[in-house]
């Protein structure tokens, strides 16, 4: 169980995060809807240990992560641009986290091959990252994160740079893999439909204040999230499509 309590941060006189509290059980995906400038990157950086909060605590299974440096937090931060080693193959990029932990070679081979197969990357194992498509690079980035069995995956608009079809494929892949490995995630997006697709729990971050909803219904119906209006818009488009097609 991961517990965040009363987290606050300001830059100069500007409050950026205000009294943020939530908890996550293993395997849960908290999808947080947030517009640009709402404080999402600051929140994720604080959780990852890359930025210090002014106040508040972060506990993992009761342990205070405050003094724990980023590389010992077992958290992986994924954003739009996959960070890969350009000089290493796909296989070696994924294997990296195990190599630095001195896992034995046979075990590395087994785990990496298994994960590459799950991510549909087996055929690309020997390629360099710059010989891959954007979606494939993002899958390698997932592989690098998952291989170390992180306690928390922090996703900051991870599919924002991908075309609509690849984005939809990546959302399904994220769902499948995170369910299979029981990965706990905080997934921030400005796209309501993406939030509804990937989340098991739902939140809304606005001007540094996080609201966590008890159910998907309350998330959809809350006027601030504007999810209901967006869904209604897409429904209205769908209804007009057959009519316009039949008149053409
Ligand atoms: N190091 C910093 N120094 C001063 N102000 C900062 C710093 N980092 C962020 N801010 C300010 O804090 C606010 C929130 O920034 P943050 O990067 O967390 O937003 P965001 O929700 O990730 O936005 P976007 O989606 O546009 O990247 C912004 O007004 C930003 O200008």
Q: What is the CB neighbour count within 10 angstroms for residue 86?
A: 8
Q: Does one domain contain both 102 and 202? A: no
User: pLDDT at residue 97 above 70?
Assistant: yes
pLDDT at site 144: 92
Mean pLDDT calculated for residue range 111-118: 93
Q: Does residue 189 lie in a domain region?
A: yes
The pLDDT value given to residue 246: 46
| Domain hosting residue 171, numbered range | 1-61+152-240
Mean pLDDT score of the chain, rounded to an integer?
91
Q: Which residues line ligand 1 (CB under 6 A)?
A: 11, 16, 34, 36-42
Nearest residue (CA) to ligand 1, atom 16: 39
Which of 96-100, 130-134, 137-141, 226-230 comes out lowest in average pLDDT? 226-230
Nearest protein CA to atom 14 of ligand 1, as residue: 39
pLDDT value at position 247? 47
129-156 per-position pLDDT tens digit = 999 998 899 899 989 998 988 989 999 9
Domain boundary among 150, 168, 201: 150
Q: Are 191 and 89 in a shared domain?
A: no
Is residue 69 a part of any domain in this protein? no
In the reported structure, the alpha carbon of residue 33 is separated from the centroid of ligand 1 by a whole-number distance in angstroms of 16
Separation of 16 CA from ligand 1 center, angstroms? 7
Does residue 92 sit in the same domain as residue 212?
no
The answer to whether residues 141 and 162 belong to one domain is no
Q: Whose CA is nearest to atom 25 of ligand 1?
A: 36
Residue burial 187-223, b: 16+ Cβ < 10 Å; e: rest: bbbebbebbbbbbbbbbbbeebebbbbeebeebbebe
Rounded to an integer, the average pLDDT of 184-200 is 93
Picking from 150, 177, 209, the residue at the C-terminal end of a domain is: 150
Confidence of residue 242 (pLDDT cuts 50, 70, 90): low
Q: Whose CA is nearest to atom 24 of ligand 1?
A: 36
Residue 38: how many CB atoms within 10 A of its CB? Answer: 22
Region 65-75: what's the mean pLDDT? Answer: 92
């Amino acid at each position: 169980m991961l517990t965040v309590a009363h987290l606050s941060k300001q830059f100069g006189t500007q409050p950026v995060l205000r009294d943020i509290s939530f908890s996550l059980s293993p395997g849960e995906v908290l999808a947080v809807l947030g517009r640009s400038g709402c404080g999402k990157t600051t929140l994720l950086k604080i959780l990852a240990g890359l930025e210090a909060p002014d106040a508040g605590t972060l506990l993992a299974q009761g342990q205070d992560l405050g003094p724990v440096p980023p590389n010992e937090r077992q958290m992986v931060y994924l954003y739009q641009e996959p960070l890969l080693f350009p000089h290493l193959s796909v296989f070696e990029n994924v294997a990296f986290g195990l190599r630095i932990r001195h896992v034995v070679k046979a075990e590395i081979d087994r785990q990496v091959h298994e994960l590459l197969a799950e991510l549909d990357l087996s055929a690309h194992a020997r390629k360099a990252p710059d010989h891959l498509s954007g979606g494939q690079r993002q899958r390698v980035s997932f592989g690098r994160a998952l291989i170390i069995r992180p306690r928390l995956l922090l996703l900051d608009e991870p599919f924002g740079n991908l075309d609509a079809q690849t984005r939809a494929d990546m959302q399904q892949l994220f769902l499948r893999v995170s369910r299979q490995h029981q990965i706990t995630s905080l997934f921030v997006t400005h796209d309501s439909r993406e939030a509804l697709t990937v989340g098991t729990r739902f939140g809304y971050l606005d001007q540094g204040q996080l609201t966590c909803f008890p159910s998907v219904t309350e998330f959809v119906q809350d006027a601030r999230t504007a999810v209901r209006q967006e869904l209604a818009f897409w429904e209205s488009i769908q209804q007009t499509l057959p009519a316009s097609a039949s008149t053409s």
